[in-house]
Amino acid sequence: MEQPAEILIIGGGLSGAMLAVQLLRLPGQRRILIIEPRAELGRGEAYSAVELGHTLNGNAARMSVDPDNPDDLTQWLTAHIAGGGWPESAEQDVPVSELFPPRGLFGVYVQQRLAEARAVGTLQGSTVEHFCAEAVDLQVDAGSVQLTLSDGQILRGSQAVLATGMYPAARTPQTQSSGLNAAALDPWDVAAMRELDPQSTVLIIGSGLTMVDAVVSLEQAGHRGPIEVFSRHGLLPHVRRQPPAWVDFLAADHSIRTPRQLLRELRRHCRDAIAQGIDWQAPLDTVRAHIARLWSQATDVQRRQFVRHVRPWWESHHHRSPPLSAELIERLHQEGRLRIHAASFKGIEPGAGDAVTIRIRPRGETETSTVSGAALINSSGIEYDWRRVARPLPQQLLARGLVQPGPLALGITAKDGAVVDAEGQVSARLFAMGPPLRGMWWESTAVTDVAAQAKALARRLVDSPKD
């Protein structure tokens, strides 16, 4: 049975919820359908976490979902805490704006903002319906978009938005599987970790923020044994601090265009900051607002150079760890329980008994070796290459030629939010936002990025011709 609507939003995590919020706030009557297999909207992968130790990696002042009010989360938290919510916040002993809320609580905040927008939309005759199923196929014709769901339903709308969010490597089936996920524990599954021998050795692939989450999960599960972490460069995320403001040197100098020029100038500013007794994170944080411009104007050669040579250091310096998690990582490292190895994962080996054995190649060496542990965790981050994501919708969209891979095969290609197909044609009916646009803007996953994109895309959807 076809269900006609104005807008189909595919994905009901942060991206889909924020787009719905912006659409509901705009004048006019419209029917919005959100297709999301989870029972709750607004959470997605990131904010479905239930453990208090899994926190945002940015403080409240940096994580507003309202692009017009950077203090929105701070204000919401202030009222929430005053009403008796999140009593554990007192343990951080900092102003509310500097708190790092649990990701599950952030999901509650997003849901409340969506509920408020729904009330506004109701007054104007707009509605949002949640279809609790997975989108498995999509077709576009001259007059509409047709979406097929996993439960057999067919939905039809004037426009559709790919708000599919992130595909965590640990939870995403791969078209070219290494067998890692089949042998690994979920980084956020504390219950499964409680089944481990508390003194056993755990192996982790990847040393970014997912690894930090995995270590927090192990700690909360009562694990007290060795943790061996393997990543190609052996880099850990730096801790998130609250540095003072620094001059926006990129706004003042648009001659800085290439990754090489940026690194040279950024290093100079960081040295100047350190010489003045100011945290080096202050100059680095000014770069954030210019990433989209710098990435979009770079050539493919420059982008490849950045990804190959700079990306690991950019990720560890820019995508930083919340303080409490960083303290845990440092403590375990000092105790000798947590060890970081610069080594590449080369595959799963048959193990003895219940042991998990992996093959690794240490950085700078040609020979491989094996390491065994009681459990293995895949903390290799996010899979942005849709060609490798073995989910029905990405595969169907690629097979039908309705999308094409983005620059460096990161996400998909779009122009001002409108999806570009395999023939280079810009769609009038299919749009995308958030993580699928990683290749277009590089940083397209942070809360503030998603909030700004939602506002701009909502206006475009409402103003664009439907016929």
* Residue 360, strand partner residues: 345, 369
pLDDT band at residue 1 using 50, 70 and 90 as cut-offs: very low
194 pLDDT more than 70: yes
Neighbours of 279 (CB within 10 A): 16
The position carrying tokens 């949640």 is 130
From 159-163, 253-257, 363-367, 449-453, the region with the lowest mean pLDDT: 253-257
User: What is the secondary structure of 240-271 as a DSSP string?
Assistant: P--PPP---HHHH-TT--SHHHHHHHHHHHHH
- Across 125-195, the runs of DSSP E, i.e. the strands, are 127-131, 135-140, 145-149, 154-162
Average pLDDT over residues 329-348: 97
Q: What is the pTM of this model?
A: 0.95
* Residue 347, strand partner residues: 359
Q: What is the CATH number of domain 170-238+320-378?
A: 3.50.50.60
User: How do residues 346-391 score in pLDDT, each as one tens digit?
Assistant: 999 986 678 999 999 999 999 999 999 999 999 999 999 999 999 9
* Residue 339, strand partner residues: 228
Percentage of the chain modeled with pLDDT above 90: 87
Same fold, 2-54+102-167+384-463 and 170-238+320-378: yes
Average pLDDT over residues 412-435: 97
Mean pLDDT of the chain: 94
Spatial distance between the Cα atoms of 278 and 360, rounded to a whole number of angstroms: 40
Helices (H), 3-52: 14-25
pLDDT band at residue 411 using 50, 70 and 90 as cut-offs: very high
The per-residue pLDDT for 466 is 64
Q: Where are the domains of the chain?
A: 2-54+102-167+384-463, 170-238+320-378, 249-318
| Domain 2-54+102-167+384-463: top CATH class | alpha beta
User: How do residues 256-305 score in pLDDT, each as one tens digit?
Assistant: 888 889 999 999 999 999 999 999 999 999 998 899 889 988 999 999 99
The per-residue pLDDT for 71 is 98
> Vertex 189, ends 231 and 363: CA angle to 5°?
5
Neighbours of 301 (CB within 10 A): 9
